[in-house]
Structure 1
Amino acid sequence: MHSVRWKQAVEWLAAAATDPRACKREWDHGTGTALLAAGRYWDVLSVPDRLGLLALDIMWHDPLEVPGPTLVDVTARRVGFFLPPDPDSEWVGCGVRHVGRGSWVAVPPPYRPTGRLEWLVPPDGTGALHPPDALELALRKATGMLAVLAPVSAEPAGPEGR
């Protein structure tokens, strides 16, 4: 049963490649990553890792909302949320990047990490994605939490800092 799900996830992801067979060969025998076109089956919202990891944690706490595919780039320190394609969407925020039609995303296979890329939530093969409204709410909550945790001032507190 588990291998059937991985096969479905591989087929679903590879469908976004210009050549799905070459994509699967690259995953199995090449560098382990493939460049896939965004904007057809999914878009990606890329955010700084602290924000993205906190937002993902918030989404895991809602039993009615299972997070969609989520990718982390440990070198670039970014988290990518896969969501439905929407050429008219406008995601605004510090360090927020919306990747849609005309863009390409480096993607590892859903069954293992590759170098700097790793699935935090691998695709399940059903085509399930992050609901934009739930993702926006989680990102807003995470932004608020990070703002509370951030230092108010870079200056040291106390008499020695004056």
Structure 2
Amino acid sequence: MTNTMWTRGVEWLAAAAADPRSCTWEWDHGEGTALLEAGRFWDVLSVPDRLGLLALDLLWRPGLPPPGPTLVDTAAGRVGFFVPPDPSGGCTGAGVRYATEGAWVAVPPPYRPARFLEWLVPPDGTGTLHSPGALKAALRQADGTLAVLAPLCGR
């Protein structure tokens, strides 16, 4: 990513903060994470890491548009997909968490990891998010693949 893309990504993410300036200052000088409120510009669909990593791989294919911002939390073993806001609560299912209005999400800056949080696909500042339909299809396919592999892997 170019410096301009990093700058736009920072501005886009920080816009979700109560105080965008203090958010960017914290990223540059503090612990490296900021708590941002979901539900205004984006929601976050969080799934177990094996499922999320496989789904992201399915979304990242030639001929498809690039996937939206995707965050991994290695401590929690979760992958978070940034999707358009859905006041109805979005997807549900076993192991699925959905952060929307009223929920807060810890995020590092787009240009580096912080503690256990790292961008797999950083925001580019254009506002591109995951398509809920494409994400749902990739998660379904990934879940089917993991179900087939589970007996082979002794799980």
Structure 1, unmatched stretches of 5+, are 156-162
Letter in 2 for 1:63: G
Cross-structure match for 1:38: 38
**Alpha-carbon contact 2:52-2:79 (below 8 Å) kept:** yes
Q: Larger C-alpha radius of gyration, 1 or 2?
A: 1
Residue 85 (1) aligns with residue 85 (2): yes
Cross-structure match for 1:16: 16
**Secondary structure, counterpart of 1:11 in structure 2:** helix
Letter in 2 for 1:135: L
Structure 2, unmatched stretches of 5+, are none
Cross-structure match for 1:137: 137
Q: Which aligned pairs between 1:2-151 and structure 2 lie closer than 5 A?
A: 2-151=2-151
**Secondary structure, counterpart of 1:98 in structure 2:** strand
The percent of aligned pairs where both chains have the same amino acid is 68
Tell me by how many angstroms 1:90 deviates.
3.6
For structure 1, which segment, 85-94 or 24-33, has the greater mean C-alpha deviation from structure 2 after superposition?
85-94
CA–CA separation in structure 1 for the residues paired with 2:40 and 2:90: 17
- Superposition RMSD in Å: 1.8
Matched length: 155
Tell me by how many angstroms 1:151 deviates.
1.7
4+ residue segments displaced more than 4 Å: none
CA–CA separation in structure 2 for the residues paired with 1:142 and 1:118: 21
